[in-house]
Amino acid sequence: MLTLLNEYKHFNGAHRRYRHFSQSNQCDMIFAIYLPPRALSGSRVPVLYWLSGLTCTDENFATKAGAQRYAAEHGIAIVMPDTSPRGDDVPNQNAINIGHGAGFYVNATQEPWAKNYHMYDYIVNELPDLIEQNFPVNQTRSIAGHSMGGHGALQIAIKNPERYQSVSAFAPIVSPSDSAWGQAAFREYLGKDTAAWKTYDSVTLLREAETLLPCKIDQGTADEFYPRELQPEKLAQVAAERGFALELNMREGYDHSYYFVSTFIGEHIAFHAKYLAVLQKV
């Protein structure tokens, strides 16, 4: 059951926040959805799933990126889930990269995380089923994200190309197995066996992938986490070696913040709109 928390008129569409019980995460989850004017007038529209980064909730992107303006223009719904399960009964650590706000879009196998931290299943299966059953959308989807969310979007798209039309990322953690943030989280969620880590590592996955969806990545050169945690060139190199098209834009002087994301989000929405329109059903 969905519980409506907030609703705002926005660019003649509707931005809504909901709470529901998640079977994947065994706790209440919150997500937001922006429905463009076209959806409110009776048409079923395609969906862009946005995955946010460490410490974020559904509200960071919704209030800071300015994406709704472009979604309204292109007739695309945007779904913005929380980054992690939360609550008094959900395990947590006092660290930005483990626990609440840091689900890393994996299915945890280690205690105490295994019961609740199944963000991969939630994003790939449970949430789309919920959205498609309850809102005026079709089954045409794309996926995007920022930082940890960029990691999530890329590894999910590489593993599930049949479910999406395109993928994009801002400052993504493309190789969490080679990142201090990723290593710490994976050790907690997946255990010490690094073979399990590779199933969520975009660089490793792309080496063995049969295809790559249309892919766009933006990285700021003044990002305080680049190149230590963020190594998009690694993914671009593997894509080139495999003969896959990947657009990597190095943005001079931009940092890791939503000032960066909001500057280029219009280009990302337009990028996805081009591919979502191919299978759009009215």
Task: Count how many domains the chain has.
Answer: 1
**Tens-digit pLDDT profile for residues 235-260:** 999 999 999 999 999 999 999 999 99
Query: CB 148: neighbour CB atoms within 10 A?
Result: 32
Residue 278 is given by DSSP the state G
Query: What pLDDT score does 161 carry?
Result: 98
Asked if pLDDT for residue 75 goes beyond 80, the answer is yes
Query: CB 23: neighbour CB atoms within 10 A?
Result: 12
**Tens-digit pLDDT profile for residues 118-143:** 999 999 999 999 999 999 999 999 99
**Tens-digit pLDDT profile for residues 96-115:** 899 999 999 999 999 999 99
**Tens-digit pLDDT profile for residues 186-213:** 999 999 999 999 999 999 999 999 999 9
Query: What pLDDT score does 77 carry?
Result: 98
Position 282 confidence tier, pLDDT thresholds 50, 70, 90: very low
Q: Which residues contact 167 (CB under 8 A, 6 or more apart)?
A: 142, 143, 144, 153, 154, 157, 213, 214, 215, 216
Say whether 121 is catalytic: no
Domain interval for residue 224: 3-280
Q: What is the CATH number of the domain that holds 17?
A: 3.40.50.1820
Query: What pLDDT score does 278 carry?
Result: 58
Query: CB 10: neighbour CB atoms within 10 A?
Result: 17
Q: How far apart are CA 127 and CA 118, in angstroms?
A: 12
Percent of the chain with pLDDT over 70: 98
Asked if pLDDT for residue 277 goes beyond 90, the answer is no
Q: What are phi and psi of 97, to 5 degrees?
A: -110, 10
Position 281 confidence tier, pLDDT thresholds 50, 70, 90: very low
Six-digit token pair at 169? 């990322």
Query: CB 239: neighbour CB atoms within 10 A?
Result: 21
**Tens-digit pLDDT profile for residues 9-28:** 999 999 999 999 999 999 99
Give the global pTM: 0.96
Say whether 223 is catalytic: yes
Catalytic residue among 118, 146, 256, 272: 256
Say whether 142 is catalytic: no
Catalytic residue among 58, 201, 218, 223: 223
Q: Which residues contact 2 (CB under 8 A, 6 or more apart)?
A: 18, 19, 20, 130, 134
Strand-by-strand arrangement of the 215-220 sheet: 3-10, 13-22, 27-35, 77-81, 45-51, 137-146, 167-170, 215-220, 247-251
Q: How far apart are CA 231 and CA 176, in angstroms?
A: 10
Catalytic residue among 147, 166, 175, 179: 147
Asked if pLDDT for residue 280 goes beyond 60, the answer is no
Position 94 confidence tier, pLDDT thresholds 50, 70, 90: confident
Contact 68, 34 (CB under 8 A): yes
What average pLDDT does the structure give for the chain?
96
